[in-house]
Amino acid sequence: MKKYLLLFVILPLISFNFCSKNNANLDIEVTADNLPEGSIIYITGNNEQLGNWHPGMVQLEKNEEGKWIKSFSFERGKKLEFKITRGSWENEAIDIDGSTPPNYVVHVLSDSTIEIRADLWADQVEKKIRGQITGTVKYHRNIQGKGIKPRDILVWLPPGYYSETNKNYPVLYMHDGQNIVDPNSSAFHVDWQIDENADSLIRQGLIEPIIIVGIYNTSDRNEEYSDEPLGFAYMNFIVDSLKPFIDSNYRTLTGSENTANGGSSLGGLISFVMMWEFSEIFSKAICFSPAFKIEKYNFVDNVIAYDGKKKNIKIYIYNGDNELDSQLQPGVDEMISELVKQGYIQGKDFYFFKGKKSQHGERDWAKSIWRALIFIFGTEKGRSLL
């Protein structure tokens, strides 16, 4: 039986680059002998140079020795997390036991070379994914939008939807929709478990019954989940096309007071942007680990520049204490500070929860989604738990 190895070694270079005091060179070298014909190796991680976790954006080049290589320059002291893929999460490099490995972690202190051996890939082993979908989910495939790529849409229906035919429901639109109910479609094979949470909360009378719409992302996620032109094209698609479609085909309560949107990371950012820019349609937002102000993203200044009357909005904000969320926290703090200045009240207009010993991912967001659902859609009985 052939054995597979996945090795990770950091080798400091003998000569250092003193020309740039603030930056250090980082060379990635991947050896992979078990590649299907025509394969290309990619690196993806928590930095724009690494593709911001897009699995098929930053390609490595194959050299004469058969290694896949790429050189980078990062600010000294930068903490990087990354993985190796063949272009998608379905074929990322995995451990010899078939399990999904943790992120590689590198603190950039000096010029270094990272050598990785990756001979086993996720699509070469039988997937063993735990979890299931709770409740009724309907799928609408390849939905078109003006100026954006087509995508799939899922609709989760609350218990009693088909038996109480005279009842209409509030709606929660979730970005990164493939990650919310089904571990098989989720990028990291872990879902938000929003179906289990909503089903349980509804049956206990802690939230009112709701419809949840999951909007799948595309390879343009970073641009679509921002206040850039493609972001407004994405939001206009939701406002002008998707919401009317959902309202026409499902029994919804269509007013802004019954319409929310939510997401995490950049999805948390676009959730706030959509609520702020289209508050007459989406008056509520769920923002997990939101990128309010980090690197090129900054919606805090937009809120600061606003001089109109107080908006009738409601916001749930979550942020953890892991490395990435710690980088997001200053932007979260600034946004909350500005909301308070403009008269928004903690516990009434917005709710901030700080996660402890957390990870920036669906597993930990799932642990707190119940609070968000109660704050946004809670009954009096449910709100007493916050």
Task: Give the pLDDT of residue 13.
Answer: 37
Task: Give the pLDDT of residue 131.
Answer: 58
Architecture of the domain spanning 136-383: 3-Layer(aba) Sandwich (3.40)
Tens of pLDDT along 363-376?
A: 899 999 999 999 99
Closest to 353 measured CA to CA, from 386, 385, 381, 382: 386
User: Domain segments of the chain: what residues?
Assistant: 6-124, 136-383
Q: What are phi and psi of 176, to 5 degrees?
A: 50, 45
Give the residues of the chain that fall short of pLDDT 50: 1-19, 128-129
Specify which residues 264 forms β-bridges with: 288
Task: Give the pLDDT of residue 126.
Answer: 58
Superfamily of domain 6-124, CATH level 4: Immunoglobulins (2.60.40.10)
Task: Give the pLDDT of residue 94.
Answer: 83
pTM of the model: 0.74
CB contact set of 162 (below 8 Å; sequence gap of 6+):
136
